Structure 1
């Protein structure tokens, strides 16, 4: 390892932000406890679809575009560039992915979707890195520009194609799905027994091995891949140093502009991949407005995950699961979540009492009692509340996680070349 790399270790933050890292057995124990809690709620509420194979499979498909957008935000912000333009880059990914996909096949569409998003990232890098424009202003402008550009392009591409229109593309050929025949059927039968914990575990595993698109596998592999590149390579160390202290990084010989450009272009490419996933895998067609704010939710998942790939994946899974509850079970499943939240607040109350934070414990107890009452006195929830559930979840998660957040120190701050010399 070179002297400059060793020196830069002092620039980058310590792993885990100074907190003790969770071991694999502890993570597995926490996951098992969480699944047991879901199983208990399922038995009490009778919402048997809560952890079914279809529910988990649907949640995974809904979580992937959010997770890819979040990964894009992670790359950019770790290099010190705030990327509010993720939504626009996803829109470009959906359009370019569908345009190439219906003509030359789905995998060509995936590649062009990545290129489309990367072009949006390149534009954002030029505006923010080279010309030092405010990152938020640039991102909002890209979001607006992407809507206008795709609408304009659709008028003389999709509108003239057979089966297309000015607001949607022709049907795109699907990417191959993976299903393990014997195992998938056995797990589905086991889940249908509705046993405590065992059926829920079968539903979760079954959802991961049933109708799994190859592109989903690629997307899942990008999470540990991002962690390895950014936290286990000298390239990643240099990139993260640009987001922590670019002046010090430049003084050690790092080309800060180059790493910021790379990070933001990769960020756009990942968001574009998320958009291509929506058009090719989720729906098989491009439709105007189909991103539905997933770029912003991906940004929220990244913040919830504290700018770390693992936490980001957890946040994306949470938002995807909530959205899947709305689409599959509607009021019944979302109603069951009231009971889950009430039990979780009881656990929060106990934890706060253990830490001798009595005011927080009283607040948690009061909220838990309110939710228990709401659950016991109703059989279903209004449709408006069900539709708003994913967005309410986003707000609650951000509010509850705000106190432990630690963004890169130079995230969003202006930087000019030569400051470190």
Structure 2
């Protein structure tokens, strides 16, 4: 690595406070996953919500998590370069329309490609407004969202409305991308899960959900997570891009073309959000419908923040939101009711941790909330439908509130930058 690149590395690396955090080894991570699955199994056995970790539940959660994860990945690219991208929702909307428009005419893979192009155009617009003209990033993102809604509604009036099987608010049916199921193994895991044994059936349900009716596009989307990590944290290109989000003045002084890297990052961000939109119309539903993004762009942004602007953490957040969203589709009130018990147990564990850390006030609050949830779970058999529908958004708020203290965004994220301002 050259001296210039090494110096950029120093500029891109934030100072650690409190001695930094130890990285979790693979055995520890696997142990944490096993513990979480055992807790889910315990809740399933107590509540009787046997669909909580079924093959269908996990498969549905994965399908719902992918668009959120792709949007979150897009936000990560932009914000690592110092550009806040509130316009992810609008770029997803563009991806849905362009993906459906091309998909029903020339096939699903053409739709995927055009969905990426549509989102990238939204990203390019956001980059021009924020990077070149230094407009406030939030204002620009909101403008992109509004423009995307209006543009797709206008375009639908003389494209889908005139097509057979379409209307001004939805497209004709689009051919699906091939689904993959591992023959034999998938059926065996489904049978094992149906026995409802403690832990073993839950593990079978999770593994079965990951290999049953899995779209090829889902696999490609999942592979983008480690690919992003490798590009941004293991290549010179990624190092220079991240330096633009940490200290663009220092990066410029070392010969980095800050404008170029910001443009690349925001366009890639838009392309990933567009891919999320194309996934919705081609894999999830097979049809374009007005308003079908359902604010997933904003939830993707929340997943990125929950993940502390890191791909792995973002994927975990997307999985959490996708699973919560899938609860209301399968089992509905029963599954969400079981989650009350899970949340009560987690808060009880938090009480023990807070007392160990001698944070008595926080422990008392957690104990009171945990007791209230236990009482709520015990005295009720189901939850109102309104609460079930709001569960994904309540989860988003709770996760962001609980994780706020450990977050550290890129230092120059959202800050205006002009070439030569450090001279």
Shared fold per TM-score greater than 0.5: yes
Per the alignment, residue 361 of structure 1 pairs with 363
CA distance in 2, matches of 1:12, 1:361: 37
Residue 92 (structure 2) pairs with residue 90 (structure 1): yes
Q: For structure 1, which segment, 393-402 or 16-25, has the greater mean C-alpha deviation from structure 2 after superposition?
A: 16-25
CA distance in 2, matches of 1:295, 1:259: 23
The runs of 5 or more residues in structure 1 that have no matched partner are: none
Aligned with 1:229 (options 209, 228, 231): 231
- Tell me, yes or no, if the aligned pair for 1:49 and 1:55 is still in contact at 8 Å: yes
Aligned with 2:169 (options 167, 170, 184): 167
- Tell me, yes or no, if the aligned pair for 2:14 and 2:246 is still in contact at 8 Å: no
SS of residue matched to 2:338: helix
Per the alignment, residue 111 of structure 2 pairs with 109
Per the alignment, residue 3 of structure 2 pairs with 3
CA distance in 1, matches of 2:274, 2:331: 30
Residue 141 (structure 2) pairs with residue 139 (structure 1): yes
Aligned with 2:398 (options 382, 396, 399): 396
Number of residue pairs matched by the alignment: 421
CA distance in 1, matches of 2:385, 2:95: 32
Per the TM alignment, residue 12 of structure 1 is displaced from its structure 2 partner at its CA by 1.5
Per the alignment, residue 387 of structure 2 pairs with 385
Per the alignment, residue 301 of structure 2 pairs with 299
Per the alignment, residue 47 of structure 1 pairs with 49
Flag the 1:11–1:364 CA change in 2: closer, same or farther, 3 A: same
SS of residue matched to 1:10: helix
Per the TM alignment, residue 16 of structure 1 is displaced from its structure 2 partner at its CA by 8.5
1:109-136 CA distance string (max 9 Å, x none): 0000000000000000000000000000
- Tell me, yes or no, if the aligned pair for 1:249 and 1:420 is still in contact at 8 Å: no
- RMSD (Å), alpha carbons: 0.9
Flag the 1:272–1:16 CA change in 2: closer, same or farther, 3 A: farther
Per the alignment, residue 155 of structure 2 pairs with 153
1:149-207 CA distance string (max 9 Å, x none): 00010011000001100000000000000001100000000000000000000000000
SS of residue matched to 1:181: coil
Which TM-score applies when normalising by structure 2? 0.99
Per the TM alignment, residue 419 of structure 1 is displaced from its structure 2 partner at its CA by 1.8
Q: Give 1:345-356 correspondences, 5 Å limit.
A: 345-356=347-358
Q: Give 1:112-261 correspondences, 5 Å limit.
A: 112-261=114-263
The runs of 5 or more residues in structure 2 that have no matched partner are: none
Per the TM alignment, residue 65 of structure 1 is displaced from its structure 2 partner at its CA by 0.2
Per the TM alignment, residue 5 of structure 1 is displaced from its structure 2 partner at its CA by 0.4
CA distance in 2, matches of 1:305, 1:9: 22
- Tell me, yes or no, if the aligned pair for 2:96 and 2:278 is still in contact at 8 Å: yes
Q: Give 1:333-344 correspondences, 5 Å limit.
A: 333-344=335-346
CA distance in 2, matches of 1:148, 1:110: 22
CA distance in 1, matches of 2:50, 2:164: 43
Per the TM alignment, residue 86 of structure 1 is displaced from its structure 2 partner at its CA by 0.2
Flag the 1:152–1:256 CA change in 2: closer, same or farther, 3 A: same
SS of residue matched to 1:132: coil
